[in-house]
Amino acid sequence: MVSRLLLTCLLLIQIGKLSAVAQSEPEYSSVVALPRGPVSRIPSPNGKWTLIFECPKHCSDRKLSIEENNSLTRRLVKEYERSLSISWAPDSRSFFVDDASGSTETLCYVYDPATLKETDIAKVVLAGDPEAAQFLNAGHSYLKAIRWINSQELLVVLEGYNDGLPPGVFTVRYRIGLNGSIQKLWQQVEGHLH
């Protein structure tokens, strides 16, 4: 009876420790929508990097930089016109940026934090699914990474519509690998896109 009580107490202590650890660790795989104020800091899961989005003067200037936390070396990633969505890969070796560059388009890029090498996800989609050109060239085309599936793959959605001729509304979901692999998961098209 005493050993069973002792075992139960030890188990409850371990559950409490695990719960405290889970609550203290931020969720790095979530997508951060920007702007959120004059300065937003988005740390990488491994703590090596911090993405810094600056949006001063009522967001008249918008720039994304990356800082290596050990050296405090900061480099400009890019300047932007409108809003962004950003998420780190779970292993901190990549991050994506959904750039709502205009009211009629959103573009998606993946970056290597060490080199800032940019991968244009539209080019990856076209290489694996040439028929997607009709959607990427539509009047309103929004290509967005929704989330990381794992450190090497993204769930991406391409959606939009033509408000002229030919009309049409579309949504396509892809599983895209950083190695260039692409799998179409689902597609819905209404109307007549060419």
What is the per-residue pLDDT for 191?
75
What is the per-residue pLDDT for 193?
57
Which band of pLDDT confidence, cut at 50, 70 and 90, is reported for residue 166? low
**Range 82-103 average pLDDT:** 94
Helix residue ranges per DSSP H, 51-92: 56-59
Is the pLDDT confidence value at 3 over 70? no
Distances (CA, A) of 124 to 114, 169, 180: 21, 22, 6
What is the per-residue pLDDT for 4?
45
* 80/131 Cα distance (integer angstroms): 29
* 172/121 Cα distance (integer angstroms): 14
With a CB cutoff of 8 Å and minimum separation 6, the contacts of 27 are: none
**Range 149-177 average pLDDT:** 91
The domain limits of the chain are 27-191
Which band of pLDDT confidence, cut at 50, 70 and 90, is reported for residue 167? confident
Question: What is the share, in percent, of the chain residues with pLDDT greater than 90?
Answer: 65
Which band of pLDDT confidence, cut at 50, 70 and 90, is reported for residue 121? very high
Distances (CA, A) of 11 to 23, 129, 150: 18, 51, 31
**CATH code for residues 27-191:** 2.40.128
What is the per-residue pLDDT for 168?
85
DSSP for 98-158 reads EEEEETTEEEEEEE-TTT--EEEHHHHHHHH-GGGHHHHTSSEEEEEEEEEEETTEEEEEE
* Residue scoring higher pLDDT (24 or 160): 160
Contact 134, 166 (CB under 8 A): no
